[in-house]
């Protein structure tokens, strides 16, 4: 990388970030329009056409889009099919949930102790909080992992550090011993399973399968209604998504982006060219894990509850499903996939979809949605490997029929065995 | 006649001259204690029974039984005892107490008064009966008597038990009696020598009863004294803070009257709350009492005024703890017996540990065979073909549901199992072939995408099973001959179902090795695995081979599903429980090799059981650590235990 480059870099690398990725502007514009639209329709700030729970669902969807973005970068661009990013997402949620639960319980305990004859000591308050939080798993003392739960800044640091460090250590171990491809997927899945099994234990210190609850009540903001909090978190999620999009667009463009994509396409060749493949992979893996943790920290205050089932391996597989359906290897594809599939999923399973009467059998979508999802997933994998994002290419093609070369950065997401890419770049 | 006998009995009683043993009858003995027999009390009945036993008359056991069962009556007119039997019409037939012969005409119910010993007396009678039952000609009676004796060991049983051993004809029962006698002698033996001798015979015996007897002898009591204790009765000295919590040690001191009770924080708080005067406690304003120091200060002021018990400082507690010794003392007083019992227990513990290790080994073996069954189909599809089949777990589920459906139609469990095994293979073979033809074969060049596509199939199959069979678990009942378990001794046992699964795993291993190494199909499979292009140019149809291989792997999953369903619940989610473990088994073992899968299953089964043994309370933790272990293992052998070498490894 430090090699002396005498010739100027190719034209497309000298352009700015936006010029390289015109989709950024489109994306930001659409996101902004969406946000203002929702704000205009929300209960707290607008006409009230959108219920508070709907605003929360949309805010949560934005967080899912952010974690899908991270998944797309690590899988669609770097070729690491990680089945652990929902675990990082959950860890971020747990990290912020610990503070939310601690601080809120503290307010309740202090209030109840204030009526006592003697002013409470610090130890009494702490014991009271511990009994409140851990009574459900038969404990009354704080485990070591709660050491920083009293402090918002420290716990916010945990949101970044816990998933980041886990990803760093795990990635270092895995990439160092050159575990790749399918093996790496299975290994990340094993890590996720181990984590969720650990959290399921009552003595894990995180309330076992009860998880953390009451996270929607933000301490210190009790006076504010849930409708206001919902729109605030919606905007925070949108902001995080926009920043995440910019960050990842920057990561996958330019020279580093080229190396990352080259690793996906032929890891050995990149290594022979003198790049330290492991460092690139570790960087991408850890960065995406951190972003996943941040997404989780924004998601769970809106969801209100987190439990170890949210970290189960199946959640991470669904994440891969969203990205694949949306179209991996392009950032907006991941966003489209996560938004469409998760919203459709909650529409179908929430009983929103009308039943279909076939005469001899009534299809109830709560029962058949997963069958439909499974089938459509197989169909997308087989017949539309570009996913929903591929539709954008059709529009682009219509607008510029004479264009030579490939659309978007995603064409090489498909393995070369599927046939040579059409057009340039050969 | 009866009058005369009664007269003689009365005479004998009056003169305090016992009747000659040779001449007396059971009725005589009873008449001597007539009042106690007719209205027995728990304390007064003992001499009667002793007298009865000492008489050595043959009718005593049957009388005792009848007495205990409340069928003995006393005739009102002359006070004689009979066994009564109710007849039709409300009258009673009177039987002789010694012989059981009818002695007189039926009498109405009010001609006799019944004898009703209470529960306590019945127990005493029962104990006395044991000695007769121990030598009863009927072996079932003897067995019951020995069982009753074993449930409540008492010193009084030594004599009758040892008397009955000589004449015991059944070797097993004789051994049992001797063992029981050893227990009795060990606990209640007359001399320390006899007890030590009995204890030495118990060494190394691993039955629960022996361990209980030894533990009872080595029962300890917690004590605290000012001077250091010595002597053989001291089991161990407890160091406060290490062996015993500081608070508990101090509480023991207080309880023994050796130290002053320290007010607990709650008591201190209550005392402070009770002593608030004009917003102050002991001169400290209430508003300042939010630290422990301020509270201690306020409490100290109160204590000085004498209104509350004084505060005990930490230093005082430490000094009190240091001045005393805490120890456990054996309830047993004899040093030799303690030493012998400790010796016997140590030897028993060693034997138990060895047997527990054997039991653990069996458990690990059975778990390994389950993992092997679940993973071997995957090893074929993933290992040999390089295809990730996330729906493999759902094939296991399909096999289990096939077994369930067959049982709905064929009620005979053995027969239905025999039908279910091949049928499950056929069903999942078909499903596997269909999946390969429709989906997998388009994705051979995109292995990560087979993972996603088969995951789609997996959630679809799971939801379909849920829609068809519902969410509750369905039973797959094992045939009767698989019930129960093979008990080797009190520690080592294994259920027959697990043995059957182990045998099934062995059969699978043999069949697969044969198919892969000795048949045309196996040759072609290996050829296609190593180099599809070259295999095709040799006239092998790779498409057909891939299809058959995938079908074979899926079919085996179906059979494994039937086997797993026999001992686990059949639910639509059962496949999920095995899929990650199966993948890890294949990855740890090494891809593309049946032996590798065997080694992987063995390693994972063994390590999981080993971790469970270290931390028996928590199987979840065991699984967590096991997975971490696997992740670390992959670090050192990324290609598994049995790694392929050469070109095939790079494919």
Q: CB-CB: which of B447, B452, B459 is closest to A381?
A: B452
Winning range, highest mean pLDDT, from A51-60, B89-98, B624-633: A51-60
Under an 8 A CB cutoff, do B443 and A382 touch? yes
pLDDT at A426: 31
Cβ-based neighbours of A182, under 8 Å, separated by 6 or more: A81, B382, B386, B388, B447, B448, B451
One DSSP character per residue, B54-78 reads: HHT-TTHHHHHHHHHTT-EEEETTT
Chain B closest-CA separation from residue A8 CA (Å): 37
Tell me the three state secondary structure of residue A322: helix
Q: In this prediction, what percent of chain A has a pLDDT beyond 90? A: 37
Q: CB-CB: which of B447, B466, B620 is closest to A201?
A: B620
Domain, as residue range, for B303: 263-311
Mean pLDDT (whole number) for B319-329: 83
Whether B591 is covered by a domain: the verdict is: no
pLDDT at A11: 57
Chain A closest-CA separation from residue B637 CA (Å): 9
Domain boundary among B69, B96, B125: B125
**Which chain B residues have a beta carbon less than 8 Å from that of A378?**
439, 453, 456-457, 460
The per-residue pLDDT for range B254-285, each reduced to its tens digit, is 888 777 777 777 777 788 877 777 777 777 78
pLDDT at B17: 42
Domain ranges of chain A: 20-350+364-399
The per-residue pLDDT for range B325-351, each reduced to its tens digit, is 888 888 887 888 888 888 888 888 888
For chain A, the average pLDDT equals 84
Strand B92-95, strand B81-86: pairing: antiparallel
pLDDT at A1: 45
Mean pLDDT (whole number) for A330-334: 89
Residue with tokens 């250091």, as numbered in its chain: B228
Whether B530 is covered by a domain: the verdict is: yes
pLDDT at A282: 96
Res. A306 pLDDT band, cuts 50 70 90: very high
Tell me the three state secondary structure of residue A172: helix
Residue B112 is inside which H or E element, if any? strand B112-114
Residues B44 and B190 in one domain: no
pLDDT at A97: 94
Q: How far is CA A106 from CA A103, A165, A224, in A?
A: 5, 29, 19
Q: Residue A374, Cα to own-chain centre: how many angstroms?
A: 21
Mean pLDDT (whole number) for A199-204: 83
**Which chain B residues have a beta carbon less than 8 Å from that of A324?**
449, 452
- Nearest-by-CA chain A residue for B386: A182
Residues B413 and B528 in one domain: yes
pLDDT at A106 over 80: yes
Whether B583 is covered by a domain: the verdict is: no
- How far, in Å, CA of A61 to CA of A342, rounded? 7
- Long-range CB pairs of B298-304 (<8 Å, 24+ gap) are B298/B272, B299/B263, B299/B268, B299/B271, B299/B272, B302/B271, B302/B272, B302/B275
Chain A closest-CA separation from residue B491 CA (Å): 29
pLDDT at A74 over 90: yes
Res. A422 pLDDT band, cuts 50 70 90: very low
pLDDT at A294 over 90: yes
Residues B62 and B202 in one domain: no
Residues B157 and B300 in one domain: no
Residue to mutate among B466, B604, B627, B636, with most A CBs inside 10 A, is B627
Res. B650 pLDDT band, cuts 50 70 90: very low
Residues B149 and B85 in one domain: no
Under an 8 A CB cutoff, do A377 and B458 touch? no
Under an 8 A CB cutoff, do B624 and A194 touch? yes
pLDDT at A383: 84
Residue to mutate among A166, A381, A419, with most B CBs inside 10 A, is A381
Residues B176 and B119 in one domain: no
pLDDT at A419: 42
pLDDT at A302: 93
Under an 8 A CB cutoff, do B638 and A321 touch? no
Winning range, highest mean pLDDT, from A209-213, B79-83, B206-210: A209-213
- How far, in Å, CA of B80 to CA of B31, rounded? 7
The per-residue pLDDT for range A394-419, each reduced to its tens digit, is 777 666 555 555 544 444 444 444 44
Least confident among A74-83, A236-245, A382-391, B14-23: B14-23
pLDDT at B196 over 90: no
Residues B403 and B551 in one domain: yes
Least confident among A112-116, B24-28, B360-364, B580-584: B24-28
Total domains, chain B: 4
Under an 8 A CB cutoff, do B456 and A194 touch? no
pLDDT at A352 over 90: no
Whether B240 is covered by a domain: the verdict is: no
Residues B296 and B382 in one domain: no
Fill in the DSSP letter of residue A83. Answer: S
pLDDT at A96: 94
Winning range, highest mean pLDDT, from A356-365, A367-376, B638-647: A367-376
Residue B93 is inside which H or E element, if any? strand B92-95
- How far, in Å, CA of B548 to CA of B398, rounded? 19
Whether B197 is covered by a domain: the verdict is: yes
Q: CB-CB: which of A123, A179, A368 is closest to B292?
A: A123
Q: CB-CB: which of B286, B287, B464 is closest to A371?
A: B464
Higher pLDDT, B235 or A396: B235
Winning range, highest mean pLDDT, from A103-117, B195-209, B630-644: A103-117
pLDDT at A425 over 50: no
**Which chain B residues have a beta carbon less than 8 Å from that of A113?**
none
The per-residue pLDDT for range A243-287, each reduced to its tens digit, is 999 999 999 888 888 899 999 888 899 999 999 999 999 999 999
Domain boundary among B577, B594, B628: B577
For chain B, the average pLDDT equals 81
Tell me the three state secondary structure of residue A388: coil
Residue to mutate among A76, A371, A418, with most B CBs inside 10 A, is A371
pLDDT at B15 over 50: no
**Which chain B residues have a beta carbon less than 8 Å from that of A198?**
620-621, 624
Q: How far is CA A248 from CA A73, A77, A240, in A?
A: 7, 10, 12
Residue B451 is inside which H or E element, if any? helix B447-469
pLDDT at A6 over 70: no
Helices (H), B170-313: 171-188, 192-202, 208-217, 246-255, 265-274, 292-305
Backbone angles phi, psi at B474, to 5 degrees: -105, 140
The per-residue pLDDT for range B61-76, each reduced to its tens digit, is 778 878 877 778 888 7
Report CA torsion sign: A114, A118, A123, A127.
negative
Chain B closest-CA separation from residue A10 CA (Å): 32
Higher pLDDT, B310 or A57: A57
- Nearest-by-CA chain A residue for B443: A382
How many Cα atoms are found within 13 Å in the side-chain-facing hemisphere of B473?
11
Whether B172 is covered by a domain: the verdict is: yes
Whether B554 is covered by a domain: the verdict is: yes
Residues B39 and B113 in one domain: yes
Res. A154 pLDDT band, cuts 50 70 90: very high
Residues B552 and B507 in one domain: yes
Mean pLDDT (whole number) for A16-42: 86
Higher pLDDT, B189 or A402: B189
Under an 8 A CB cutoff, do B457 and A378 touch? yes
Q: Which pTM does this prediction carry?
A: 0.77
pLDDT at B338: 85
pLDDT at B324: 84
One DSSP character per residue, B390-442 reads: TTHHHHHHHHHHHHHHHHHH---HHHHHHHHHHHHHHHHHHHHHHHHHHTGGG
pLDDT at A8: 60
The per-residue pLDDT for range B406-434, each reduced to its tens digit, is 999 988 888 999 999 999 999 999 999 99
């Amino acid at each position: 990388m430090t090699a002396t480059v005498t010739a100027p870099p190719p034209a497309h690398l000298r352009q700015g970030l936006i010029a390289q990725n015109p989709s950024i502007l489109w994306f930001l514009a659409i996101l902004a329009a969406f946000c203002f639209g929702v704000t205009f329709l929300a209960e707290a700030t607008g006409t009230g056409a959108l219920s508070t729970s709907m605003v929360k669902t949309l805010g949560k969807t934005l967080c899912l889009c952010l974690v899908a973005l991270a998944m797309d970068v690590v899988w669609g661009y770097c070729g690491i099919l990680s089945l652990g990013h929902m675990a990082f997402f959950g860890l971020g949620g747990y990290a912020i949930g610990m503070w939310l639960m601690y601080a809120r319980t503290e307010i309740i305990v202090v209030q109840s102790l204030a009526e006592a004859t003697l002013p409470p000591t610090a130890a009494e308050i702490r014991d009271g909080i511990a009994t409140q939080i851990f009574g459900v798993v038969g404990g009354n003392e704080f485990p070591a992992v709660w050491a920083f739960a009293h402090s918002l800044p420290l716990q916010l640091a945990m949101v970044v550090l816990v998933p980041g460090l886990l990803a760093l250590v795990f990635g270092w171990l895995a990439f160092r011993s050159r575990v790749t491809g399918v093996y790496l997927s299975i290994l990340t899945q094993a890590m996720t399973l181990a984590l969720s099994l650990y959290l399921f234990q009552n003595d894990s210190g995180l309330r076992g399968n009860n998880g953390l609850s009451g996270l929607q009540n933000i301490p210190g903001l009790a006076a504010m209604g849930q409708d206001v909090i919902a729109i605030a978190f919606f905007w925070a999620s949108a902001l995080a998504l926009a920043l995440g999009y910019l960050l990842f667009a920057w990561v996958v463009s330019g020279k580093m982006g080229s190396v990352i994509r080259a690793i996906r396409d032929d890891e050995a060749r990149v290594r022979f060219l003198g790049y330290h493949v492991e460092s690139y992979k570790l960087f991408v893996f850890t960065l995406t894990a951190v972003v996943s943790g941040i997404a989780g920290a924004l998601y769970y205050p809106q969801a209100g509850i987190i439990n170890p089932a949210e970290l189960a391996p199946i959640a991470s597989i669904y994440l891969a499903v969203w990205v694949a359906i949306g179209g991996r290897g392009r950032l907006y594809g991941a966003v489209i996939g996560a938004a469409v599939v998760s919203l459709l999923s909650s529409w179908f399973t929430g009983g929103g979809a009308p039943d279909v009467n076939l005469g001899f059998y009534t299809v109830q979508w709560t029962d058949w949605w997963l069958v439909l999802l499974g089938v459509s997933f197989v169909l997308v994998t087989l017949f539309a490997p570009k996913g929903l994002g591929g539709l954008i290419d059709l529009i682009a093609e219509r607008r510029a029929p004479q264009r030579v070369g490939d659309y978007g950065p995603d064409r090489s997401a498909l393995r070369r065995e599927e046939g040579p890419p059409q057009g340039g770049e050969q | 006649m009866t009058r005369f006998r009664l007269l003689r009995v009365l005479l004998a009683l009056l003169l305090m001259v016992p009747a000659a043993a040779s001449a007396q009858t059971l009725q005589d003995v009873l008449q001597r204690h007539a009042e106690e027999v007719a209205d027995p009390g728990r304390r007064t009945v003992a001499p009667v029974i002793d007298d009865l036993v000492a008489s050595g008359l043959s009718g005593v056991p049957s009388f005792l039984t009848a007495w205990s069962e409340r069928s003995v009556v006393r005739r009102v007119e002359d006070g004689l005892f009979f066994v009564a039997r109710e007849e039709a019409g409300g009258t009673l037939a009177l039987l002789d107490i010694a012989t059981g012969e009818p002695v007189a005409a039926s009498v109405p119910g009010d001609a006799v008064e019944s004898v009703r010993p209470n529960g306590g007396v019945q127990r005493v009678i029962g104990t006395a009966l044991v000695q007769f039952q121990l030598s009863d000609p009927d072996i079932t009676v003897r067995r019951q008597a020995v069982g009753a004796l074993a449930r409540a060991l008492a010193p009084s049983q030594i004599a009758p038990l040892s008397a009955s051993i000589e004449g015991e004809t059944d070797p097993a029962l004789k051994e049992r009696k001797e063992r029981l006698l050893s227990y009795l002698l060990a606990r209640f033996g007359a001399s320390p020598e006899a007890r030590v001798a009995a204890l030495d015979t118990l060494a190394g015996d691993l039955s629960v009863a022996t361990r209980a007897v030894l533990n009872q002898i080595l029962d300890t009591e917690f004590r605290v004294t000012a001077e250091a204790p010595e002597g053989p009765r001291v089991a161990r000295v407890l160091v406060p803070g290490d062996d015993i919590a500081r608070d508990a040690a101090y509480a023991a001191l207080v309880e023994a009257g050796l130290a002053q009770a320290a007010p607990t924080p709650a008591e201190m708080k209550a005392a402070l709350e009770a002593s608030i005067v004009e917003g102050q406690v002991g001169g400290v304003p209430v508003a300042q009492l939010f630290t422990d120091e301020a509270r201690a200060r306020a409490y100290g002021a109160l204590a000085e005024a004498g209104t509350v018990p004084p505060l005990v400082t930490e230093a005082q507690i430490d000094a009190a703890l240091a001045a005393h010794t805490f120890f456990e003392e054996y309830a047993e007083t004899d040093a030799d017996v303690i030493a012998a019992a400790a010796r016997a227990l140590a030897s028993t513990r060693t034997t138990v540990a060895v047997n527990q290790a054997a039991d653990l080994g069996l458990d690990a073996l059975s778990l390994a065979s389950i993992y092997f069954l679940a993973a071997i189909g995957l090893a074929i599809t993933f290992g040999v073909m390089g295809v990730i089949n996330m729906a493999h777990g759902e094939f296991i589920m399909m096999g289990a549901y096939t077994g369930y459906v067959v049982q709905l139609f064929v009620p005979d469990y053995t027969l239905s199992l025999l039908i279910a095994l091949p049928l499950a293979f056929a069903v999942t073979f078909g499903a596997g072939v269909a999946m390969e033809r429709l989906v997998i074969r388009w994705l051979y060049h995109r292995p990560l995408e087979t993972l996603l596509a088969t995951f789609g199939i997996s959630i679809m199959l799971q939801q379909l099973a849920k829609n068809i069979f519902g969410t509750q678990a369905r039973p797959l009942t094992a045939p009767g001959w698989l019930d129960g378990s093979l008990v080797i001794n009190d520690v080592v046992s294994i259920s027959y179902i697990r043995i059957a699964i182990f045998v099934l795993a062995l059969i699978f291993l043999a069949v697969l090795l044969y198919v892969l190494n000795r048949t045309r199909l196996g040759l072609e499979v290996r050829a296609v695995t190593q180099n599809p292009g070259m295999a095709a140019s040799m006239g092998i149809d790779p498409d057909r081979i891939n299809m058959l291989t995938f079908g074979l792997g899926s079919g085996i999953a179906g059979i494994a599903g039937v086997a797993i369903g026999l001992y686990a619940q059949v639910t639509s989610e059962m496949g999920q429980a095995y899929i990650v473990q199966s993948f890890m088994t294949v990855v740890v073992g090494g891809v593309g090799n049946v032996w590798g899968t065997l080694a992987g299953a063995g390693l994972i089964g063994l390590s999981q059981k080993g971790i469970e043994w270290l931390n028996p309370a928590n199987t979840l933790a065991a699984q967590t650590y096991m997975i971490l272990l696997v992740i670390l293992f992959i670090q050192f052998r990324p290609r598994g235990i049995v790694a392929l070498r050469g070109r095939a490894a790079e494919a």
